[in-house]
């Protein structure tokens, strides 16, 4: 159950043009949730037969559903749409945006902020935050408690930093980004050179550039480039516990699931999907719209629209054929032994 700080009226929902209202019921709502926990102030959705009985028994004030279920919900207030779940997500996003716009912005007294920090509008800064010299904060930026921001960092309008995010010096964060707790942006790339028997550190003096509408999951790390920029394209989404090595170039609207690791100087095109625990060797190039299956090990380039899977990662169809053939290896081996015995 999610309880919002502001109410959403039925008139406003109607004005959004998401669907048609049928029936009568409450006129304002403050919650979204599951059918079993709903009350008159709650909005729920229905788009699967298995949930019909639970929704019928629910006390929810508004049910978002499709035409096919409307007849099964007589005397209930409905918002009839083509895609109920998707519509509910749009409503929640609208609700969250409205709450953010109504936020009473303030700067906590314990925050330590350099005197020359530039504000492009109202911002929210929590307790125990430290912000270095030469930084710029866009309008509506929210910085949670315990965040540490180095010198000359730029954070675009509407971006949210949840508690304990660290952004090193000279990094650029776009507009409307979300960085979850524990994210580290701009730590040194993992660069060393063996010299006279000693692992000598290679200085990492580049930065990280993150586009607009990027979301980065909890405890993910993006290393700064050695000289240039590690880049994350607009709209790309990183799950929790993702590691991006130095000098990586990630395109627009990519999806990187939990525990993906990219070694240095990896390049991803646009709309690339990497499933959980995919590892990519350094300097590999993965083309636009490519997809790599879970736990795959990528050691070479992948073409645009490629579907790869396995360790080492190969064309998914080839990997499946190999896996199917492996099941017959014991039988083949026994046949080999029988033939060898006959010949002897």
Active site (catalytic) residues: 246
- Neighbour-count burial of 53, counting CB atoms closer than 10 A to its CB (0-12 exposed, 13-18 middle, 19+ buried): exposed
The CA angle 11-17-22, to the nearest 5 degrees, is 65
> Three-state SS across 154-217?
EECCCCEECCCCEECCCCEECCCCEECCCCEEEECCCCEEEECCEEEECCCCCEEEECCCCEEC
Residues in the chain: 344
| Runs of H (alpha helix) within the chain | 10-15, 52-57, 67-70, 84-101, 316-326, 329-343
Cα–Cα nearest to 230, from 288, 173, 145, 148: 173
Measured between alpha carbons, how far is 225 from 247 in angstroms, rounded to an integer?
Answer: 4
- Phi, psi for residue 186 in degrees, rounded to 5: 90, 15
Q: Are the CB atoms for 173 and 136 separated by under 8 Å?
A: no
Pairing of strands 291-292, 273-274: parallel
What does DSSP say about strands 78-80 and 62-65: parallel, antiparallel, or unpaired? parallel
């Amino acid at each position: 159950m999610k309880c919002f700080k502001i109410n959403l009226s039925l008139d406003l929902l109607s004005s959004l043009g998401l669907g048609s209202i049928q029936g009568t019921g409450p006129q304002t709502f403050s919650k979204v949730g599951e059918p079993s926990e709903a009350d008159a102030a709650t909005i729920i959705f229905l788009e699967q037969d298995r949930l019909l009985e639970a929704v019928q028994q629910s006390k929810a004030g508004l049910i978002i559903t499709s035409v096919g279920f409307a007849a099964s919900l007589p005397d209930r207030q409905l918002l009839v749409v083509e895609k109920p779940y998707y519509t509910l997500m749009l409503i929640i996003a609208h609700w969250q945006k409205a709450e953010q716009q109504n936020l009473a912005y303030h700067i906590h007294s314990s925050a330590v902020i350099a005197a020359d920090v530039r504000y492009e509008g109202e911002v929210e800064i929590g307790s125990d935050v430290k912000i270095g010299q030469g930084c710029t904060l866009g309008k509506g930026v929210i910085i949670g408690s315990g965040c540490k921001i180095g010198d000359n960092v730029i954070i675009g309008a509407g971006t949210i930093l949840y508690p304990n995010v660290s952004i090193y010096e000279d990094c650029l964060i776009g507009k409307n980004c979300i960085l979850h707790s524990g994210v580290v942006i701009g730590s040194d790339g993992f660069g060393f050179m063996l010299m006279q028997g000693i692992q000598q550190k290679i200085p990492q003096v580049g930065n990280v550039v993150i586009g607009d509408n990027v979301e980065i999951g909890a405890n993910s790390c993006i290393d700064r480039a050695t000289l240039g920029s590690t880049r994350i394209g607009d709209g790309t989404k990183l799950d929790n516990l993702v590691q991006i090595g130095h000098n990586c170039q990630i395109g627009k609207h990519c999806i990187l699931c939990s525990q993906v690791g990219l070694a240095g100087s990896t390049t991803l095109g646009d709309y690339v999907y990497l499933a959980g625990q995919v590892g990519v060797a350094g300097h590999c190039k993965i083309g636009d719209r490519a997809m790599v299956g879970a736990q795959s090990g990528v050691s070479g380039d992948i073409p645009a629209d490629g579907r790869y899977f396995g360790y080492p990662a190969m064309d998914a169809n080839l990997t499946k054929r190999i896996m199917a053939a492996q099941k017959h290896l014991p039988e083949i081996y026994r046949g080999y032994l029988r033939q060898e015995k006959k010949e002897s």
